[in-house]
C-alpha cells in the first residue's frame, strides 16, 4: 500500500519508513505536494486528522499524519500539542530543550515525570484509522545522547537507563510513542 506521509519533518519520515515495513511511504515532496497544514487543533487527535485530511484531499491517495509532543507533569502538560512551537518562532530543537530545562530549573527529581504522546491518523477513501501511543519517562537536568531529535536528549527512560537520544534507532522505535502508535496502526490496517 502506498501512503503519503503528511509531514515535512525528515526525522518523522525516516521513523515511519523504519517502522512501517509493509507500506510504501512517500514524502509530500515525492508526491509533488507543497502544503503546510496549520495545526489549529487543541489535541493531538485533532491536529493529526487535520494534516491527514488535507494531504489526502490534495493527493487522492491514502495519507498518514502524526501529531506528537512532550507532556510534562510539572508544567501542567506543556509543551503538549505546542511542542514543536514551544518558545515561539526562531527556536530550534536545541533552543526548545534549553527553554524546557530553564522552566524546570527548580523542579525536584520526583516531580520531573513526563510522557511522549503520538497520535497517528490515516485518511483514505475507505475512511479514517487512528492509533495512539505513549511512553513514560522523566526530564533529565541536562541533555545526553547524540541520536533522535526534538526533546530526546532530555527524555530519560528509567527502565532502559538512558535518554531516547542515547538509544539506537531500533531501540527507540521499539519503545517510543511513535513506534507504539505505528504498531497499533499497522495492526488495525491488517485487520481490515
Cis upstream peptide for 79 (omega within 30°): yes
Q: pLDDT at position 1, please?
A: 82
> Are 190 and 129 spatial neighbours (Cβ–Cβ below 8 Å)?
no
Neighbours of 136 (CB within 10 A): 13
How do the pLDDT tens digits run along the chain, 192 residues long?
A: 889 999 888 888 888 888 888 889 999 999 999 998 989 999 999 999 999 999 999 999 999 999 999 999 999 999 999 999 999 988 999 999 999 999 999 999 999 999 999 999 999 999 999 999 999 999 999 999 999 889 999 999 999 999 999 999 999 999 999 999 999 999 998 876
What is 2-190's CATH topology? Answer: Maf protein (3.90.950)
Domain ranges of the chain: 2-190
* Gyration radius of the chain's alpha carbons: 16
What are the catalytic residues? 67
Residue 87: all three cell numbers together: 518558545
Residue 168: all three cell numbers together: 539506537
Amino acid at each position: 500500500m502506498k501512503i503519503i506521509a503528511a509531514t515535512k519533518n525528515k526525522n518523522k519520515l525516516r521513523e515511519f519508513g523504519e517502522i512501517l515495513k509493509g507500506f510504501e511511504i512517500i514524502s509530500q515532496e515525492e508526491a509533488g505536494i507543497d502544503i503546510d497544514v496549520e495545526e489549529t487543533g487543541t489535541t493531538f487527535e485533532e491536529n493529526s486528522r487535520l494534516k491527514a485530511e488535507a494531504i489526502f484531499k490534495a493527493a487522492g491517495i491514502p495519507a498518514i499524519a502524526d501529531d506528537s509532543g512532550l507532556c510534562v507533569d510539572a508544567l501542567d502538560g506543556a509543551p503538549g500539542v505546542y511542542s514543536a512551537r514551544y518558545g515561539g518562532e526562531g527556536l530550534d530543537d536545541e533552543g526548545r530543550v534549553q527553554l524546557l530545562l530553564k522552566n524546570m530549573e527548580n523542579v525536584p527529581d520526583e516531580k520531573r515525570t513526563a510522557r511522549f504522546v503520538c497520535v497517528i491518523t490515516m485518511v483514505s477513501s475507505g475512511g479514517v484509522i487512528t492509533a495512539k501511543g505513549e511512553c513514560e519517562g522523566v526530564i533529565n537536568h541536562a541533555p545526553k545522547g547524540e541520536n533522535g531529535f526534538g526533546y530526546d536528549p532530555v527524555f530519560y527512560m528509567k527502565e532502559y537507563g538512558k535518554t531516547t537520544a542515547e538509544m539506537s534507532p531500533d531501540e527507540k522505535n521499539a519503545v517510543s510513542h511513535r513506534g507504539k502508535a505505528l504498531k497499533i496502526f499497522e495492526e488495525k490496517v491488517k485487520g481490515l
